[in-house]
Amino acid sequence: MATASPPQPAQDSETSRPVRRPASTSPVRSFLQARGSGAAGDHAFAVTVMLCACSVLAVVVLVFGVLLVHSRLSLRTLGLHFFYSGDWDPVHGSFGALPFLFGTLATSAIALILAVPLALGVAVFLTEMCPLPLRTPLSFLTELLAAIPSVVYGLWAIAVLVPLVRDRIGPPLQRTLGWTGFFRGPNFGVGLLTAGIVLAIMVLPVISSITRDVMRAVPVAQREAVLALGATRWEMIRIGVLKNARAGIVGAVILGLGRALGETMAVTMVIGNHPAISQSLFAPSYTLASVIANEFAEATGDLYVSALIEIGLALFLVTIVVNGVARALVWAVTRNSATGARA
C-alpha cells in the first residue's frame, strides 16, 4: 500500500532552489516595530526622572525659604546677639539661644565619646573577625537599633536609664571624679549625661553601619600584602584597613553627629528642659530641637515665634553642613577604592 510522501518545500522555478518562508514574528518584535523609534518615550522618561530628582532639591530650598521668611523679625530685632546671649525669658521678651547651643553640643559630644569606640569595635569585629554564621544576625540586630522610634528610647530611658544614672552610675562618678567639676551637684537622673547616653545608643548603628561599608571597600590586596609581610591580625587591621578607611570613618562619625544634633523626642524626655549652662553633667539642660518641640505650640507673640523659628533655621543649616561634609568624606574613600580596583 502506497504511503503519502512528506510535503516538499516550495522551489524557485528558475533556480530550482527552495524558497525560504518568512518566520513568524515574535510579540516583542511586533510591539517594537509598531511603536516606532521610541524617542518620544525616552524623552518623556528622562524629563520625569529629572523632575523627581529636582523635587528633592526644591523641597530643601522651600524649607529653607520658609524658615528664613518667618524668622526675619527675630533676625532684625535680635541680630547676632541672639546666639551668644544666655537669657531666655519669653515673658519679659528676652531671647538668647546660647543655653540651647550649649546643650546641643554637650549632649552630642557625650554621645560621640561613648558611641565611637563601641561602633568602631562592632564594625571591626563584624568585618574582620566575626564567624560567618554570626555575621548576618549580629549585623541585623545592630541595624535594628536604628529602626526603633525615638519615643521608645525615651520611654526606656525614663523607666531604666534615669534610675540607673541616679542610683548606680552617678554616686561612683561623684566620689571618684567629682573633683573635675563635671560630676558634682544634685543628681536627679535627668540631665546632660542621661541624654548623652541615650544619643550614644541611637547613633551607634549609624556609625557602625557606615564604618562597615567603608572597611569593606578597602581592597583585599591591602590585607594580603600586610599579612604577607608578617603582620599579626591586629596589625593588619590597624595598618591595612583602618588607616586606609580613616577618612570614611570620620565621615561616619560626622553623620552620627548630624543625627545627634537633630534628635528631639528622646532627648526632650530625659534632659530636664532647663535653659541654663552648667559645668556638671548631672544638671538639666536644653537643646535646640527640644526647645522647639516644647515651646512652639504655646508660643505667644510674633517675636517669640520668630525666635523659635530662627533656632530651627540654625539647626537646619548646621545639619545640612554636617551631613554634606560627612558624605563628601565617605564618597572620597569609596571613590579611591573603586579607582584602585579598576587599576
pTM of this structure: 0.81
- For 221, other C-beta atoms within 10 Å of its C-beta total 12
Averaged pLDDT score across all residues of the chain: 86
Supply 303's cell numbers. Answer: 517675636
* Block residue for cell numbers 577604592: 337
Would the pLDDT of 10 be above 80?
no
Q: What is the mean pLDDT of residues 101-110?
A: 93
- For 325, other C-beta atoms within 10 Å of its C-beta total 16
Would the pLDDT of 96 be above 60?
yes
Per-residue confidence at 243, pLDDT binned at 50, 70, 90? confident
**Residues 316/63, Cβ–Cβ less than 8 Å:** yes
Q: Supply the pLDDT for residue 61.
A: 93
Lowest mean pLDDT among 29-38, 49-58, 319-328: 29-38
Residues 84-93 pLDDT 10s: 888 999 988 8
Beta bridge partners of 272: 285
* Residue 84 DSSP class: H
Would the pLDDT of 279 be above 80?
yes
Q: Supply the pLDDT for residue 30.
A: 73
Q: Supply the pLDDT for residue 26.
A: 74
CA atoms within 13 A of residue 180's CA, in its CB half-sphere: 10
* Block residue for cell numbers 513568524: 24
Supply 55's cell numbers. Answer: 523635587
Q: Supply the pLDDT for residue 11.
A: 54
Would the pLDDT of 6 be above 60?
no
Q: What is the mean pLDDT of residues 110-122?
A: 95
Per-residue confidence at 324, pLDDT binned at 50, 70, 90? confident
- Of 169, 153, 148, residue with least CA distance to 267: 153
Q: Supply the pLDDT for residue 32.
A: 65
Would the pLDDT of 16 be above 60?
no
Number of residues that make up the chain: 343
Per-residue confidence at 337, pLDDT binned at 50, 70, 90? low
Q: By percentage, how much of the chain surpasses pLDDT 90?
A: 51
Could you tell me which CATH class the domain 99-342 is placed in? Answer: mainly alpha
Alpha-carbon distance 68 to 177, whole Å? 44
Alpha-carbon distance 117 to 98, whole Å? 29
Per-residue confidence at 36, pLDDT binned at 50, 70, 90? low
Per-residue confidence at 332, pLDDT binned at 50, 70, 90? confident
Alpha-carbon distance 210 to 229, whole Å? 29
Q: Supply the pLDDT for residue 12.
A: 52
